[in-house]
Amino acid sequence: MTPTQSLLVSALAAAALLALATPAAANEAAIRKALAERYPKLKIDEVRRSPVAALWEVRFDGAEILYSDATGDHILVNGALIETKTRTDLTEQRIEKLLAVDWDRLPLKDGILIRQGGGTRKVAVFVDPNCGYCKRFERDLSTIKDVTVYTFLMPILGPDSTAKARDIWCAKDPAAAWRRWMLEGVQPSKAPAACNTDAIDRNVAFSRTHRVNGTPSVFFEDGTRRPGAIPAEQIEALLVAAAAKK
């Protein structure tokens, strides 16, 4: 190989290396720019290729890691896929759709009916009478105006929960017994031995079928489902959103 040929080969090799390096540098710059704009408090230490071709490793705060696409528009954080422009949790959004239950499929006859105000809006909640979060949720729920509440007793926290659920369901006024217990701590009267509690068993069976794994679990008329003791302002917002979809 002549010196001229050697120089040409070297130049071509350098150009090839530059071509490979340029996209990586451009991707790193794009990721840094997007995340800096959308998450200004995120202090990025390093951006590098991950073992998966489509993902980039973003290291921050020393040894914390998230994964990004090549543009910084989507990141993976603790197993959740986040769309960074709006900070939408796409994983949660997808799970909500998979777990949504049509309102008409809820066994409303097996719930305790509580009407607040005109009751034109509707919400259903699966609860355990000994669940502390359920008591907090009930306090917030009781402040909401114009809503009909279907309370499904789902005793999952032990024998005492089962006994209390039975006593509340079998009370002369189950709604009043439920609210007195949850809001005031007034023990329900012991249920008569002949009381039929098949509805409670059906509630537990329904919860297993539809992966209602914790209490409280809240369902709205548009199929929206929320776990946990969501606060009053969020309950109201979800009721408004559900009503708008009718």
Q: Which of 97, 117, 146 is the last residue of a domain?
A: 97
CB distance 123 to 223 below 8 Å: no
Q: Which of 47, 84, 85 lies closest to 65, judged by CA?
A: 47
Let me know whether 134 and 167 are in one domain: yes
Do 108 and 214 belong together in one domain?
yes
Q: Which domain holds residue 46?
A: 3-97
Domains contained in the chain, number: 2
| Cβ–Cβ < 8 Å for 159, 166 | no
What CATH number corresponds to the domain at position 239? 3.40.30.10
- 58 and 106 assigned to the same domain: no
Q: How far is CA 166 from CA 125, 160, 192, 196, 218, in A?
A: 17, 10, 9, 9, 21
122 DSSP β-pair partners: 148
Extended strands (E) in 78-224: 80-83, 88-89, 112-116, 121-127, 147-153, 217-220
Q: What pLDDT tens digit does each residue of the chain (246 aa) get?
A: 554 445 434 543 443 344 344 467 888 999 999 999 999 999 999 999 999 988 999 999 999 999 999 999 999 999 999 999 999 999 988 887 887 788 999 999 999 999 999 999 999 999 999 999 999 999 999 999 999 999 999 999 999 999 999 999 999 999 999 999 999 999 999 999 899 999 999 999 999 999 898 999 999 999 888 999 999 999 999 999 998 887
Assess whether 150 and 108 both reside in one domain.
yes
Q: Give me Rg for the CA atoms of the chain.
A: 28
Full-model pTM: 0.69
- Nearest C-alpha neighbor of 123 from the set 223, 209, 215, 202: 223
